[in-house]
Amino acid sequence: MAAPAENPATGHEVIQGYLKTLDGSPGVYRMLDSDSRVLYVGKARNLRARVASYARPSGHSPRIARMIANTAAMMFLTTKTETEALLLEQNLIKQLKPKFNVLLRDDKSFPNILVTADHDYPQIKKHRGAKKEKGAYYGPFASAGAVNRTLNQLQRVFLLRDCSNAMFESRTRPCLQYQIKRCSAPCVGKISAAEYGQTVRDAQKFLAGKTTDIQARLASEMAKASEEMEFERAAALRDRIKALTQVQTAQGINPKGVDDADIIALHLQDGQACVQVFFIRSGQNWGNHDYYPRVGEDVDAAEVLEAFIGQFYDTREPPRQLILSNQIENPDLMTEALSGKLGRKVELLVPRRGEKAELVDGALRNARESLARKMAETATQKNLLNGLTEAFDLPKVPERIEVYDNSHIQGSFAVGAMVVAGPEGMMKNQYRKFNIRGEDLTPGDDFGMMKEVLMRRFKRLIKEDPDRTNGMWPDLLLIDGGAGQVSAVHAIMKEYGVDDIPMVGVAKGIDRDAGKEEFYRTEKPVKALRHNDPVLYFIQRMRDEAHRFAIGTHRAKRAKAVGATPLDDVPGVGAARKRSLLAHFGSAKAVGRANLNDLKAVDGVSDALAETIYAYFHERG
């Protein structure tokens, strides 16, 4: 790519200049503005033909015309196949977040249920992330709520343990889960290994959709127990059958003709989009999730849905069927890409009648209702931001508000927290936590903690985005505190040359009563808002969210510290070996006192590691 001139030209004539260097290869192209920011990433079966279409001076939609007008340069990368180009395109869109692409903004991972395989009495638990632990995984579930509900129901039906192996080994009497009939207490021998193993197999059959077999077997066992006058056991089996029926009823959608599929429905309205995804696995509904991809006003459904599918499955394994509300632009290409990822054939269906069409209609109704709620919330948020601008004489309506708070106990386990709000509400993927590092801070020095947090925040912003062009700079800071905190933060901002950003300190006010907050600003009088002002409630919600996030981060840090042992610092001792050592010796202190032969006798500890552990404790003196 040629270096741009001092005052680079833009538009279709610039694009025309690239045609002589291109051939008909498949590949990916990037369109850049005069500041080298990526405007758009696209794929093409024939790069020359695609670029030629942009070189025409007319015949484009308003969005594409604006993009062409801003284009000062292009970059190209050829691929062997168009499928490779599709995969690379979606990866680059997620990485670069170009202005003119459809962009999936919420890209979190989904939880699974794990039935472990490292113990005689397997544990059932929620799992998120890489599948490194031994066992059988079932999922994905649409949310933590969906997986927690299913786990609770499974515990009621099958009475499987959810405690850690270390806790299991340390029990001498049943815990509360046994008392409330959520566990069969294998830890203290209330159930045999064989009988517990049967319940584990039943739970796995249920998660695999084989519920009829389980119900038939339980009914047979209940009848047999009744005949043999074992009425207590018969009643327990009856309760399990009833709970199993309730689980199936609670799932709502249990399609007969769909075993393994994602149902994906798109609703577009007024330049906004909602995509609703239902997860059907083993013929069961494992929850749904709504997404609001960034779209433009003149994009069509086929483009939006194709971009969503490509980005959604970029880091996820697709199911065997995608049941869609709309056809996409390149279904054959997407089928080939997804099939390659799964390692078997993936079908893309757009049903017009039958059960699958009914499932899509249900998802589409959810998408329509979700987008209506989202648009109403956005309108309300816009009014609140306008009110906030007016109340504090801000230079412009803030697009990004950063709210800061600290949490500690007499200076211990100190953390700072930042939450972010914008036109669409709280932006949870932008939240940040700060472990307070200052060794010279007096315990409990809130001013010093706030100064450290803001210093680190602005230092990073200045380093990563000195020109303030990537949308990560705040338009308003809300600080939990009064005149002292505002003065401390202002000194930091002045030092870093960013004191042009408006800042408001939120103090509790008289009697620390919610509703009587006082607002502090640099070189301005203290301000209060009327008790029933919606802007006051808006600020309270943001402050409370920052406080909630700070407290949660602080508690997690404290819990981690409380659970820490000297074993955490021993080279080669990870979580699994730590559990084995604690289960074998009972405590970290006992591990430190153990002789070399005893250490070598621990399951999973090699001779070399035993020598490392022994040396670690005995060299420390």
Give the domain-ending residue among 52, 67, 96.
96
Say which residue the tokens 């093409």 belong to.
Answer: 44
**CB of 135 within 8 A of CB of 114?**
yes
Tell me the CATH number at 321.
Answer: 3.30.420.340
Whole-angstrom Cα distance, residue 317 to residue 208?
18
As a 3-state breakdown, the chain gives helix, strand, coil percent values, each rounded to 5, of: 45, 20, 35
* The predicted structure's pLDDT at residue 538: 92
Q: What averages of pLDDT result for each successive group of 10 residues across the chain (621 residues)?
A: 57 91 94 92 94 91 92 94 93 91 84 90 89 88 85 85 86 87 91 91 83 77 86 79 67 70 94 93 87 87 94 91 95 94 93 93 94 90 94 94 78 78 90 78 69 89 87 91 86 90 85 72 89 90 89 70 65 79 78 85 86 76 44
541 and 585, same domain (yes or no): no
Residue written as token pair 């099958």: 158
Name residue 527's beta-bridge partners.
Answer: 519
- Domain region containing 276: 261-372
User: Do 542 and 409 reside in the same domain of the chain?
Assistant: yes
Domain-ending residue, one of 38, 61, 96: 96
Both 423 and 538 in one domain: the answer is: yes
Number of domains in the chain: 4
Pairing of strands 321-324, 347-349: parallel
Q: How far is CA 612 from the centre of its chain?
A: 38
Contact 530, 505 (CB under 8 A): no
- Cα gap 78→43, rounded to integer Å: 10
Q: Indicate the helix (H) or strand (E) that contains 575.
A: helix 575-585
Looking at 47, 78, 96, which one is the last position of a domain?
96
SS3 532: coil
Q: How far apart are CA 88 and CA 114, in angstroms?
A: 32
Q: What is the pLDDT of residue 476?
A: 95
C-alpha to C-alpha distance for 422 and 402, rounded to whole angstroms:
9
* Residue 532 included in any domain: yes
- Is there a single domain that holds both residue 596 and residue 503? no
Q: Which residues pair with 112 in a beta bridge?
A: 127
> Rounded to whole angstroms, how far apart are CA atoms 454 and 619?
42
Per-residue tokens: 416: 């700072």
274 shares its domain with 350: yes
3-state secondary structure 48-75: HHHHHHHHCCCCCCHHHHHHHHHCCEEE
Q: Looking at the domain assignment, is residue 396 inside a domain?
A: no
H-run or E-run covering 344: none
Check which CATH number belongs to the domain holding 582 and give it: 1.10.150.20
Q: Are residues 306 and 411 in the same domain?
A: no
Q: Would residue 132 count as lying in a domain? A: no
Whether residue 573 contacts residue 567, with contact meaning beta carbons closer than 8 Å, is answered with: yes
Per-residue tokens: 591:
């591990």
